Structure 1
Amino acid sequence: MEEITTIGVDIAKNVFQLHGINAEGQVVLRKALRRGQMQPFFEALSPCLIGMEACATAHHWARTLIASGHDVRLIPPNYIKPYLRRQKNDAADAAAICEAVTRPSMRFVPVKTEDQQATLMLHSARELLISQRTALINALRGHFAELGIVAPQGARNVRQLIAILEDERYSPQAVRTALAPLATVLIEIEGQITKLDKALLAAHRNNDVSIRLATVPGIGPVIATCLSASVSEPKLFEGGREFAAWLGLVPRQHSTGGKPRLGSISKMGNRHLRKLLVVGAYAALYRMKKGTADTPLANWARGLLSKKPFKLVAVALANKIARIAWAIMARNVNFQSEHVSRCSDLIPA
């Protein structure tokens, strides 16, 4: 076999398709491997460039192959699609990955450590439990509404719903029999969410980057841990503007003929992280609107509120917070509110 310089790997649950080329770009390898064959094959192979989609299990395989001496690069799936020829199958996907990984303008996803993935798993589990809690609360409120009982919205009013359920004056026996299992599961989920919150707080306290991020208005331990775990190499972004664009917090463009046309935010990139930043910006903006803090960030927000709707200003503030977060991570500095307006990277367009 001729010396392989580049390999594209289409990873899956059990079967992995390989497409390898030599230094001249000629195809010298087309091979399918089972899961158990992957590590022995690459351990016996001379070090080469390996490209993979940044999807499920990709970070695990990247760490494994890096330990075998290979140069592994993860590519966002959307960036591979233009290199796919004709019909889609595993072999064609591997060939497209092999082609994409050699492009000089290609952008890659940094390989995450096990600790970073563990922190993100805490976020994923917490998000799933919160969605289940919301569904249960809505179910209880909906059923009680059928009896003419309307409880206030929000997770903070869960105990009121359960108290109504336990009160025989409002809940007939059949109603209690039907809804008691929902209330039991709801209480259990509340306890599990509390445990995950404590685990996130512990992870936050053991991470210097997360601690510095939490000093920014609108960023707490939950957002800080998600940022520090999701963005392992902030210097890959040229500036705060590019980081905000990666998060989908910039206007969507549809410009042509020299005429700029900007719409709503693009909503591209990490959906969970973008949602957390926007929610944090909402909370920070409420405090800035009602408070009297004399900081550049608060004055900027209040000035914009005098001209724009609250929701629009909240998203603009999320954009600004994202840029501040990038500066803190990339430059390894602490947040100083009096310097925000002096940094061009932190001022929205």
Structure 2
Amino acid sequence: MPATNIVTIGIDLGKNTFHVVGLDAMGAIVLRKKRSRNQLEQSLANVPSCLIGMEACAGAHHIGRRLEKLGHQVRLLPAQYVKPYLKGHKNDFRDAEAIAEAVQRPTMRFVPLKSTEQLDLQALHRVRSRLVTQRTAVINQIRGFLLERGLPVRQGTAALRLALPELLSMLSDNLSPRVIQLVQDLVEDWRYLDRRVTSITKEINELAEQDAHCRRLMTAPGVGPIISSAMLAAIGTGDAFRKGRDFAAWLGMVPKQFSTGDRTILGRISRRGNRYLRTLFIQGARAVLLRRQTWPRHGFGAWLEAASKRLRSNVLVVALAAKLARMAWSMLAKGRDYDANFLGQTA
């Protein structure tokens, strides 16, 4: 079959090799090839402009941008939405065929291609998240060693930081010289991680201050440079969502639903989607709740006062986080600053 018959291509991505399946207008397979990374662009450069589908995974955004430069229309699909189209036993060519089938569906949801700037910002956030996790592990290990020797320290990193010099200098049978040396080495690790986290946080803050979208998001309560830049890195301008509730659902902050017939059963939040961004919005909601005196200044102050009387604390935090996420999406997608008179009804 000539290449002009190809209208849809599915590519199963790998580290070094890619499996390509092309379909014609009737859905019949007219191309079935295995290509190396270097051969992929060359083989598709001579194919007339067509729809190309790939699963959203590591490297997919880079390859997608390269193929778009060749004139193709590239769509990235979540892997879980491709699985229903897989026929028979799994292999790479069948995966590519399933991708080609799925990308044609008019109701399919796609992942927008990320720009280089978005990927850079996302990389900064991932490194910062890893460093914060490592720092927490070091702090917990120090606490564990001290507690095993009968030296508990009250909660909080500030309390531990203040107590350590006295604990390590006191002459006690509780701490052997070896444990003291180990704790001192862990403190050095802690200081190093502090410096790295501070450095990357400063870089993220500077990037957020330079970006108009981030500055707009930071006018909202509970949203700072970290949340605004993480949101921009994850969804760009929010074009992938039709409304704020869709964004909140993608974050996993809406109830699980199991409904049949006339019965509607709602459970706990789904916790699907971007866990990192969901955690940040929940932390931002907690910060808003701690400043009760500022509630009347917010457009959702009346709702928050009423909700605080009928909801448990953790439920209230998640409900507020979902509202903040919907408002943030509306500000990003519609290009407007936070308005205190706006009640957050963005759905």
- Normalised-by-shorter TM-score class: over 0.9
2:346 aligned residue? 345
Note the aligned Cα RMSD (angstroms): 1.7
Change in Cα spacing, 1:11 to 1:63, as seen in structure 2 (3 Å) is: same
Residue 317 (structure 1) aligned to one of 315, 320, 327: 320
The one-letter code of the counterpart of 1:229 is: A
1:114 aligned residue? 116
Residue 248 (structure 2) aligned to one of 244, 248, 260: 244
- Partner Cα distance (1:230, 1:279) in 2: 17
For the residue of structure 1 that corresponds to 2:20, the secondary structure is strand
For the residue of structure 2 that corresponds to 1:264, the secondary structure is strand
- Partner Cα distance (2:112, 2:130) in 1: 25
- Partner Cα distance (1:344, 1:293) in 2: 17
- Partner Cα distance (2:335, 2:132) in 1: 33
1:9 aligned residue? 11
CA displacement at 1:153 relative to structure 2: 2.6
- Partner Cα distance (1:333, 1:43) in 2: 41
1:221-275: CA deviation from partner (whole Å, max 9, x where unpaired): 1001011121124233221122211211111101111211111111111111111
Structure 1 stretches of 5 or more lacking a match? none
1:194 aligned residue? 198
- Partner Cα distance (2:295, 2:100) in 1: 56
Counterparts of 1:1-349 in structure 2, within 5 Å, are 1-2=1-2, 3=4, 4-160=6-162, 162-164=164-166, 166-170=168-172, 171-288=175-292, 291=294, 293-340=296-343, 344-345=345-346
Aligned length: 343
CA displacement at 1:168 relative to structure 2: 4.5
For the residue of structure 2 that corresponds to 1:263, the secondary structure is strand
Q: Identity over aligned residues, as a percent?
A: 39
- Partner Cα distance (1:141, 1:344) in 2: 45
Check whether the contact 1:17–1:94 (CA below 8 A) recurs between aligned residues: yes
The one-letter code of the counterpart of 1:216 is: A
1:66-117: CA deviation from partner (whole Å, max 9, x where unpaired): 1111111000111101101121121111111010011111111110001001
- Partner Cα distance (1:72, 1:294) in 2: 45
Check whether the contact 2:295–2:304 (CA below 8 A) recurs between aligned residues: no
- Partner Cα distance (2:181, 2:345) in 1: 61
- Partner Cα distance (1:6, 1:241) in 2: 32
For the residue of structure 1 that corresponds to 2:263, the secondary structure is coil
1:195-214: CA deviation from partner (whole Å, max 9, x where unpaired): 01001101101111111111
For the residue of structure 2 that corresponds to 1:254, the secondary structure is strand
CA displacement at 1:14 relative to structure 2: 1.0
The one-letter code of the counterpart of 1:317 is: L
- Partner Cα distance (1:109, 1:294) in 2: 36
Check whether the contact 1:126–1:193 (CA below 8 A) recurs between aligned residues: yes
- Partner Cα distance (2:121, 2:187) in 1: 29
Structure 2 stretches of 5 or more lacking a match? none
- Partner Cα distance (2:196, 2:247) in 1: 33
